[in-house]
Amino acid sequence: MDPSRFTRLSDYAWQVEPFGAMRVPAVIFADEALLRAMDDKVFEQATNVAALPGIVKAAYAMPDAHWGYGFPIGGVAAFDAERGGIVSAGGVGFDISCGVRCLLTGLRRDEVEDRKADLADALFAAIPAGVGSTGAISLNPVEMDEMLAGGAHWALNRGYGEAADLARIEEGGRMAGADPSAVSAKAKTRQRDEMGTLGSGNHYLEVQEVCEVFDPAAAEAFGLRPGEVVVSIHCGSRGLGHQIGTEYLRDMAAAAARYGIRLPDRELACAPIDSEIGQRYLGAMRAGINCALANRQILGHFTRQVFGRLFPRARLDLLFDVSHNTCKVEEHDIDGARRRLHVHRKGATRAFGPGHPDLPEDLRAAGQPVLIGGSMGTESWVLAGTRASEAAAFGSACHGAGRSMSRHAATRQWAGRQIVDDLRERGILVRSPSFRGVAEEAPGAYKDVGAVVEAAHRAGLARKVARLRPLVCVKG
């Protein structure tokens, strides 16, 4: 994108002044190099979001922003129901509550290195991965509704995980307000055999080494020590979330004119928050969040079982579980007044700062862990939320590296087998059911995650705590 189209707020924040139908500005957080490399569609989509009814302050895009469906991926926007605000299925995305769970093993890298191949094989055998992957868990209709209402609590009651996990999951492991009756039979059927599965695309399970610490106090609070090994699990609500998004986008597009909403882009299909379809979507979306929380809880349990067999002294305490694709009701200070807003984060992470009451007591002084996944074979990061982030972008930060190339273009440039071999030479073992899937997720198809993280850090969205290097990657 051309920087001359923006007002430069700082070296890491760029504003589009309102024009046309825009009700508020659009703000993109990035350094100049990241901004120039972004697709012009990010500009178009961010300014379109800024034209939606009831939007508050600005439409935001994170440093990893790239073209998405309706909203840019990396988009953040908040809406006020009392001022005609809307909820948008496109502002949440198809993979509802896609997120990252990070587990602390307490193991040193040298303890894992000698058994790394055995660990890679055991995790690949235990974690179903790939397009349409299914597992050993099959839910009947009653169990499905219980899972959609209960989230990680449901999984824990079924024997997956530990009670201490719940305090380290957003919403305490269960999203209130879920309405399983608002989820279609087709969505439930798609999910029936997919609990405890990783899926495909950019989803992964990685064994990683903490290789560098930037904030020793926060790292100590988070349990991150140089040379120790962690496990990160990135996945979401699988087929159920995708089906919810598909169906409600269709219904919202058909209903928009009835509510007097002029859509700058049909992909921005939305409905008033207080409307019947808006409330029904929120109930279904919250059920989708619970599905993702339950799914990651189960995958964490499977991971603990594998480590328990190979490394009996490993503990695998949960650091945190964050979601990326959500709409949550939060209170924020707007022009000196506290207002209740529906905050959409699509490919963006909640990043509450130190002292926030929604954080666990033992993490409150440090701020919320913000888990940033890199691309396969590249570094990942742990950041911490800041107080400045609430004023900057409703307490939000980036969620990953962000694609710089389409999956189709990546498969034309790279071969999956060669990527696996090259990464093995670098000491990174990849296990995947699909070489095409590996090619689609080639490291070169993504932005430089280090540059993205640096921009988020410099913009005050979240502060750097630790850098992680991959050792094993199970890829969907």
Interval 439-454: pLDDT, tens: 999 988 888 999 999 9
Handedness of CA 356, 449, 459, 228 (dihedral sign): positive
CATH number at residue 290: 3.90.1860.10
Strands 270-272, 317-323: pairing kind: unpaired
Whole-number Å distance between alpha carbons of 272 and 314: 49
Return the pLDDT at 374: 87
Task: Give CB contacts under 8 A, 24+ apart, made by 407-415.
Answer: 407/440, 407/441, 407/445, 409/445, 410/439, 410/440, 410/441, 410/442, 410/444, 410/445, 411/436, 411/439, 411/440, 413/442, 413/444, 413/445, 414/439, 414/442, 414/444, 414/445, 415/439
What integer pLDDT is reported at residue 363 of this predicted model? 97
pLDDT in tens, 291-326: 999 999 999 999 999 999 999 999 999 999 999 999
Residue range 164-173: average pLDDT? 98
Name the residue range of residue 48's domain. 3-475
Determine what percent of the chain is predicted with pLDDT higher than 90: 92
Q: Please determine, for residue 283, whether its predicted confidence score (pLDDT) is greater than 90.
A: yes
The answer to whether residue 404 scores a pLDDT higher than 90 is no
Nearest to 233 by CA among 288, 179, 306: 306
pLDDT value, residue 377: 85
Q: What is the pLDDT of residue 130?
A: 83
pLDDT at position 95: 95
Q: What average pLDDT does this structure show over 262-279?
A: 95
Split into its structural domains, the chain has a count of 1
The confidence band for 180, taking pLDDT boundaries of 50, 70 and 90, is very high
Looking at residue 375, what is its pLDDT? 81
Q: What is the pLDDT of residue 397?
A: 98
pLDDT confidence tier of residue 403, bands split at 50, 70 and 90: confident
Tell me: pLDDT of 178 over 90. Answer: yes
Band the pLDDT of 29: cuts 50, 70, 90.
very high
Predicted confidence (pLDDT) at residue 201 exceeds the cutoff of 90: no
Q: CB under 8 Å to 122, separation ≥6 — which residues?
A: 306, 309, 310
Phi, psi of 417 (to 5 degrees): -60, -40
pLDDT for res 18: 98
Is 324 one of the catalytic residues? no
Question: What is the pLDDT averaged over residues 351-362?
Answer: 96
> Counting every residue, how long is the chain?
476
**pLDDT of residue 14 exceeding 90:** yes
Mean pLDDT value across residues 149-169: 98
pLDDT tens-digit map of 409-437: 999 999 999 999 999 999 999 999 999 99
Instruction: Exactly one of 301, 324, 342, 399 is catalytic; name it.
Output: 399
Do residues 237 and 90 touch, judged by C-beta distance below 8 A?
no
pLDDT higher than threshold 90 for residue 51? yes
pLDDT of residue 135: 87
| Predicted confidence (pLDDT) at residue 476 exceeds the cutoff of 90 | no
What's the mean pLDDT in 334-360?
A: 96
Please check the confidence at residue 268 and state whether its pLDDT lies above 90: yes
Torsion, Cα of 388, 393, 395, 397 (10° steps): -100
